[in-house]
């Protein structure tokens, strides 16, 4: 099976060193690491937003050979910042996700609904809270219907309910055949994913099943903290003999 997203010897001087990986269709993948480990750099390089050495392929095709309009149909990127200079209505900002489809409005209402933005659809985006603005850029990414979704810290500014909804949507996209790569600070959340990539000082030091990769030893070596694993925080209730 052709990899949906592939990198070979990917490097960004001073930020990322010799990273190789293959992400398949239907995979939900987390990338974790300390501050400055290279998570955002990796996601931006894979999205073609940052000059990098090495090779990047989307569905087997070299990124350099894919026209820019076509890139907008194949991949959506969500950055850490949700900054807007103009007071466009939320609905119009989300509709920007359809630019690569020649303004076809399909999917805009669905994206607004998925990110709980229908009540805010006509409000200027500059009047929203930080978490609401982040939900707008996530909705814009969903509106692209791109099979490759790269999200950098998508839940950092969200409340618990909306963060859980983002994880649910990411899983739904993967189950529909898409490939979703999400950077996280909360390594506990990585256990929700099919695979985890661990970066440290710009190098890929772990790649595999979260339960196999995120051991106490790796967490100690990479994050410099001691981890204790528990099976449950909620005690079992006693059985009523009646």
With CA atoms as reference, report the closest residue to 152 among 13, 24, 49: 49
Q: Nearest to residue 150, comparing CAs of 46, 57, 10?
A: 46
From the list 145, 146, 171, the residue with the least C-alpha distance to 27 is 171
User: What pLDDT was estimated at residue 193?
Assistant: 97
**Model pTM score:** 0.91
Crossing angle for the helix pair 130-143 and 160-175, to the nearest 10 degrees: 10
CA separation for the pair 135, 191 (Å, rounded): 23
How far apart are the C-alpha atoms of 47 and 209, rounded to whole Å? 24
Pairing of strands 16-23, 5-12: antiparallel
CATH number of 5-223: 3.40.50.300
pLDDT of residue 130: 92
Instruction: Round to whole Å and give the CA distance between 29 and 12.
Output: 21
Round to the nearest angstrom and report the end-to-end CA distance of the chain.
55
**Which H helix or E strand runs over 206?**
strand 203-208
* Regions of the chain with pLDDT less than 50: 237, 242
Rounded distance, CA 116 to CA 222, Å? Answer: 36
Structure confidence at residue 242 (pLDDT) = 47
Phi/psi for 108 (5° steps) reads -70, -45
**DSSP assignment, residue 103?**
T
Show Cβ contacts of residue 213 under 8 Å, excluding neighbours closer than 6 positions.
196, 198, 206, 207
How far apart are the C-alpha atoms of 226 and 54, rounded to whole Å?
35
* Predicted local confidence at residue 38, as pLDDT: 96
- Give CA 215 to chain center in angstroms: 22
Extents of the domains making up the chain? 5-223
Q: What is the pLDDT of residue 106?
A: 80
**CA–CA distances in Å: residue 128 to residues 86, 93, 122, 162:** 12, 13, 11, 15
- The confidence score (pLDDT) of residue 239 equals 53
């Amino acid at each position: 099976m052709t990899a949906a997203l592939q990198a070979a010897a990917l490097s960004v001087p001073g930020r990322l060193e010799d990273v190789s990986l293959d992400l398949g269709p239907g995979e939900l993948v987390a990338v974790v690491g300390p501050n400055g480990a290279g998570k955002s750099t990796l996601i931006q390089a894979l999205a073609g937003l940052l000059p990098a050495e090495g090779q990047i392929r989307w569905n087997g095709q070299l990124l350099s050979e894919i026209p820019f309009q076509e890139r907008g149909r194949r991949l959506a990127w969500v950055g850490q910042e949700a900054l807007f200079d103009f007071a466009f209505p939320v609905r119009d900002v989300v509709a920007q996700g359809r630019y690569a489809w020649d303004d076809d409005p399909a999917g805009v209402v669905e994206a607004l609904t998925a990110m709980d933005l229908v009540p805010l659809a006509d409000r200027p985006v500059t009047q929203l809270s930080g978490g609401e603005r982040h939900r707008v850029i996530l909705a814009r990414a969903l509106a692209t219907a791109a099979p490759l979704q790269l999200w950098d810290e998508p839940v950092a500014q969200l409340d618990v309910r909306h963060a859980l909804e983002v994880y649910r949507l990411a899983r739904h996209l993967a189950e529909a055949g898409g490939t979703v790569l999400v950077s996280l600070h909360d390594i506990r959340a990585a256990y929700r994913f099919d695979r985890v990539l661990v970066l440290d000082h710009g190098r890929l030091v772990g790649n595999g099943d979260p339960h196999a990769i995120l051991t106490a030893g790796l967490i100690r070596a990479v994050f410099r903290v001691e981890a204790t694993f528990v099976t449950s925080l909620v005690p079992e209730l006693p059985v009523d003999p009646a």
